[in-house]
């Protein structure tokens, strides 16, 4: 596995297992979730994104299946109409690679107030598009140490990356609109980057409950989604979340750095709503650009498969090493203190020495990983090749095949397994 991928996956695994320090005053349990861990610092500077309500986000673990989830709590919210939950069921049906899935919504008093909580899938180590592209990371010498946005401080995003974002957002939006729903929160701070240029629309379903209004038509919200998409595109192309505030200048920047297609798409998206303006239009008009993204995604999938092939042996070898650990030097089994040094187990012990405890003519240890991996792979495959196993005092010498050693290990492990609880 490449170092980059290994690091990325390790960070994700660490993110899943991170736990909150004691003393944060968080409840032990909220509905069926426990082990809450705040994903953002609290404080008054938080934006009130959802209908003017303060919210906070936590990672938590489900009691039901042990999976990690994201809980977004709308603080001090009293649900007036139970019917506001009706769209949650529709959101549950959306399982799309570019949409963070909504699992459920519920009210709770666990935070000592009336809170409304949304449980979405958790994507470890995810960042928002805003934090990836709009936050200027302070130099280590910076006196405040604070991050801030500084338009133009980051290089322009490559056009290919922008098309990749466009195809993923359009694809997620198409699925959502096809279910007669609308995103309503499309913004750089509400789109997650969960891998190399891999993005997912976040926070779906929240406004449907928090700002429930049966008089508003879904079609109108869908039109707003398209305009929000356009604004997001302007922001990304200009590297500036406020790009829409100065449209002529932003168009000039786009024309300077990007193709006419991208500019046309941005203009189409921010154009006035009309019944013929819909997400399908993006695929019809810019299909060629989006098809190229499909190719790139497949190349990446091939690369990952290649990396996976390289790791194929690992699981098998770890299982073999565990069996060695269970069998060798076992102090007592079956009322036989010598169990691990007698019978078939003696062959296993000599084989372990042959693999790991080789010495050179001067008696110095030989630490040859290739020798170890070759032996373990041959053992795993049970090949007929024969090897000579010699006891440490050189009094015993046995010639056995890998296949025979393998059956000794299987038999000894089977004996242990039968007596284990």
Ligand X SMILES: Nc1ncnc2c1ncn2[C@@H]1O[C@H](COP(=O)(O)OP(=O)(O)OP(=O)(O)O)[C@@H](O)[C@H]1O
Binding site per annotation, positions: 72, 121-128, 189-190
Q: Is the CB of 198 or the CB of 330 nearer to ligand X?
A: 198
**In this chain, which stretch among 168-176, 189-197, 231-239, 334-342 interacts with ligand X, using CB under 6 A?**
189-197
Q: Rounded to 5 degrees, what are φ and ψ at 59? A: -90, 145
**In this chain, which stretch among 107-115, 186-194, 364-372, 393-401 interacts with ligand X, using CB under 6 A?**
186-194
**In this chain, which stretch among 125-133, 230-238, 249-257, 312-320 interacts with ligand X, using CB under 6 A?**
125-133
Residue pair 69/16 in contact (Cβ under 8 Å)? The answer is no
**In this chain, which stretch among 121-129, 207-215, 266-274, 278-286 interacts with ligand X, using CB under 6 A?**
121-129
Helix (H, G, I), strand (E, B) or coil at 284: helix
Contacting ligand X (CB under 6 A), which of 73, 120, 345, 349? 120
Q: Is residue 39 involved in binding ligand X (CB under 6 A)?
A: yes
Distance of alpha carbon 206 from alpha carbon 370, whole angstroms: 54
Instruction: Quote the tokens at residue 27.
Output: 């409840």
Q: Is residue 73 involved in binding ligand X (CB under 6 A)?
A: no
The minimum distance between CB 99 and ligand X, in angstroms, equals: 11
Q: Is residue 123 involved in binding ligand X (CB under 6 A)?
A: yes
The minimum distance between CB 247 and ligand X, in angstroms, equals: 23
Contacting ligand X (CB under 6 A), which of 115, 164, 168, 202? 202
Instruction: Quote the tokens at residue 50.
Output: 């959802």
Contacting ligand X (CB under 6 A), which of 127, 217, 264, 342? 127
The interface with ligand X within residues 82-101 (CB under 6 A) comprises 100
Q: Rounded to 5 degrees, what are φ and ψ at 356? A: -105, -25
**In this chain, which stretch among 127-135, 153-161, 340-348, 408-416 interacts with ligand X, using CB under 6 A?**
127-135
Distance of alpha carbon 193 from alpha carbon 209, whole angstroms: 25
# residues contacting ligand X (CB under 6 A): 21
Q: Is residue 61 involved in binding ligand X (CB under 6 A)?
A: no
Contacting ligand X (CB under 6 A), which of 35, 61, 115, 128? 128
Give Cα separations from 341 to 329, 332, 338, 379, 380 (angstroms): 7, 10, 5, 20, 22
Contacting ligand X (CB under 6 A), which of 4, 47, 418, 421? 47
Q: Is the CB of 73 or the CB of 406 nearer to ligand X?
A: 73
Q: Is the CB of 74 or the CB of 233 nearer to ligand X?
A: 74
18 C-beta neighbours (distance < 10 Å), count: 12
Distance of alpha carbon 159 from alpha carbon 165, whole angstroms: 10
| Binding-site entries for ATP | 72, 121-128, 189-190
The minimum distance between CB 38 and ligand X, in angstroms, equals: 9
Contacting ligand X (CB under 6 A), which of 37, 77, 118, 122? 122
Contacts of 332 (CB under 8 A, 6+ apart): 339
Residue 239 burial (10 A CB sphere; 0-12, 13-18, 19+)? buried
Give Cα separations from 325 to 217, 335, 352, 412 (angstroms): 65, 19, 10, 12
Contacting ligand X (CB under 6 A), which of 12, 46, 103, 371? 46
Q: Is the CB of 184 or the CB of 190 nearer to ligand X?
A: 190
Nearest position to ligand X, beta carbon: 39
Question: Parallel, antiparallel, or unpaired for β 55-62 and 33-38?
Answer: antiparallel
Contacting ligand X (CB under 6 A), which of 116, 126, 235, 290? 126
The minimum distance between CB 30 and ligand X, in angstroms, equals: 16
Q: Is the CB of 187 or the CB of 404 nearer to ligand X?
A: 187
The minimum distance between CB 59 and ligand X, in angstroms, equals: 7
The one-character DSSP state at 84 is G
Q: Is residue 77 involved in binding ligand X (CB under 6 A)?
A: no
Distance of alpha carbon 268 from alpha carbon 249, whole angstroms: 17
Nearest residue to 236 (alpha-carbon basis) of 320, 309, 295, 163? 163
The one-character DSSP state at 136 is B
Q: Is the CB of 57 or the CB of 398 nearer to ligand X?
A: 57
Nearest residue to 228 (alpha-carbon basis) of 191, 259, 258? 191
Q: Is the CB of 149 or the CB of 277 nearer to ligand X?
A: 149
Give Cα separations from 5 to 1, 273, 303, 314 (angstroms): 7, 43, 11, 16
Q: Rounded to 5 degrees, what are φ and ψ at 73? A: -100, 125
Helix (H, G, I), strand (E, B) or coil at 273: coil
What residue ranges in 110-260 does DSSP mark as E strands? Answer: 115-121, 127-128, 191-195, 198-201
Q: Is residue 57 involved in binding ligand X (CB under 6 A)?
A: yes
Q: Using CB under 6 A as the criterion, which residues of the chain lie in contact with ligand X when the complex forms? A: 39-40, 46-47, 49, 57, 70, 100, 120-123, 126-128, 130-131, 189-190, 192, 202
């Amino acid at each position: 596995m490449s170092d980059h991928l290994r690091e990325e996956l390790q960070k994700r695994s660490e993110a899943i297992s991170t736990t909150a320090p004691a003393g944060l005053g968080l409840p032990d349990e909220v509905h069926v979730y426990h082990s809450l861990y705040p994903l953002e610092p609290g404080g008054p500077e938080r934006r009130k994104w959802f209908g003017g309500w303060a919210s906070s986000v936590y990672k938590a673990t489900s009691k039901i299946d042990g999976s990690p989830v994201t809980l977004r709590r709308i603080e001090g919210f009293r649900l007036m109409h139970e019917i506001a939950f009706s769209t949650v069921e529709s959101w549950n049906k959306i399982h799309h690679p570019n949409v963070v899935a909504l699992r459920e919504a519920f009210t709770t008093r666990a935070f000592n107030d009336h809170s409304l909580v949304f449980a979405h899938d958790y994507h470890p180590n995810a960042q928002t598009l805003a934090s990836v592209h709009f936050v200027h990371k302070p130099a280590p010498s910076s006196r405040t140490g604070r991050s801030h946005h500084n338009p133009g401080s980051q290089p322009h995003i490559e056009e290919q990356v922008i098309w990749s974002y466009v195809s993923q957002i359009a694809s997620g939006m198409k699925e959502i609109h096809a279910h007669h729903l609308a995103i309503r929160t499309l913004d750089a701070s509400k789109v997650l980057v969960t891998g190399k240029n891999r993005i997912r629309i976040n926070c779906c379903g929240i406004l449907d409950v928090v700002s429930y209004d049966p008089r508003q038509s879904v079609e109108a919200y869908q039109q707003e989604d398209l305009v929000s998409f356009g604004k997001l595109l302007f922001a990304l192309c200009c590297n500036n979340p406020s790009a829409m505030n100065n449209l002529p200048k932003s168009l000039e920047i786009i024309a300077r750095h990007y193709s006419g297609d991208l500019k046309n798409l941005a203009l189409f998206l921010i154009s006035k709503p009309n019944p013929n303006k819909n997400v399908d239009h993006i695929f019809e008009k810019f299909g060629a650009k989006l098809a190229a993204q499909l190719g790139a995604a497949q190349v990446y999938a091939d690369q990952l498969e290649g990396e996976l092939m390289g790791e194929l042996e690992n699981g098998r070898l770890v299982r073999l090493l565990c069996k060695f650990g269970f069998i060798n030097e076992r102090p007592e089994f079956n009322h036989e203190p010598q169990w691990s040094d007698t019978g078939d187990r003696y062959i296993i012990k000599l084989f372990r020495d042959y693999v790991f405890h080789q010495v050179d003519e001067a008696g110095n240890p030989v630490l040859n990983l290739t020798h170890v991996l070759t032996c373990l792979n041959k053992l795993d495959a049970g090949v007929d090749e024969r090897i000579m196993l010699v006891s440490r005092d050189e009094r015993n010498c046995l010639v056995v095949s890998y296949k025979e050693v393998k059956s000794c290990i299987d038999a000894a492990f089977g004996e242990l397994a039968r007596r284990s609880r």
